[in-house]
Structure 1
């Protein structure tokens, strides 16, 4: 499977990642499926990761109830559920769908972390942009296979 972006859409993701560095940026990708995925719009969102969010995800909270090991936004991201719902409704009213989520990896490669894998949904593409030293670098797309493992997905520039 491939995901098709315009050069401008990819630049929007790269610029967002650089502007938010050293925190992870995140956003929603809407489009449609027809012989692959075609991106219609990239929607920037706020990274709402917090201590409360961390405790909602057992992969990050210590079992003894103490503070999670990973609290900062430079290693995790979250999109507010009400934003996801709003974007989903708006997309459907235009006969589109959420087809992916993007986020950045500050000073880390554009490969999914174990937390990325655990929290991912099979129907979405996951675009990750590496941001070494504040400058957007490699950008890759991933999707989950039937065994809930990430597989790289080709990015096509339309």
Structure 2
């Protein structure tokens, strides 16, 4: 289970909306499955169907999280036009089996967020507890 404060959920929805029509992406950091900070990253693909982190930003964020005593718990990205579930590309590119993969969807009238664990191409839905 991933615990995420309501304010961070709101910030993820805001990031997804302000990034339209492109997908947005970033990291969620914390300890013991509890998210305490999110980091917005640039989608260098500038696409509404896929994303890639800016490697320089990615390295800086990982360094900053470690400096704060936090670990990267999840990466997140948005689906502007499709549901909050991993695409085949998301599954193929899920290289770290130790983190969660959070997807924010703007496909319906109300935004949606879901979390998944992806290991070896196998997808398992993960509960999100909003705190």
Q: 1:104 aligns with which of 56, 78, 84?
A: 78
Q: 2:48 aligns with which of 49, 55, 74?
A: 74
- Aligned equivalent of 1:13: 12
Distance 1:106 1:43 in 2: 19
Residue 84 of structure 1 deviates from its aligned partner by: 1.5
- Aligned equivalent of 1:22: 21
What residue ranges of structure 1 are gaps of 5+ in the alignment? 50-71
Structure number with bigger Rg: 1
Q: 2:89 aligns with which of 115, 120, 142?
A: 115
Q: Is the 8 A contact 2:77 2:103 kept in 1?
A: yes
TM (norm. structure 1) is 0.77
Residue 136 of structure 1 deviates from its aligned partner by: 5.2
5 Å matches for 1:17-56? Answer: 17-33=16-32, 37-49=33-45
Q: Is the 8 A contact 1:14 1:136 kept in 2?
A: no
- Aligned equivalent of 1:155: 128
Q: Is the 8 A contact 1:122 1:148 kept in 2?
A: no
Distance 1:136 1:83 in 2: 30
Q: Provide the secondary structure at the position in 2 that maps to 1:18.
A: helix
TM (norm. structure 2) is 0.92
Residue 142 of structure 1 deviates from its aligned partner by: 0.6
Number of equivalenced pairs: 130
Residue 104 of structure 1 deviates from its aligned partner by: 0.6
Runs of 4+ aligned residues of structure 1 deviating over 3 Å after TM superposition are: none
What residue ranges of structure 2 are gaps of 5+ in the alignment? none
Higher strand share: 2
Distance 2:78 2:27 in 1: 13
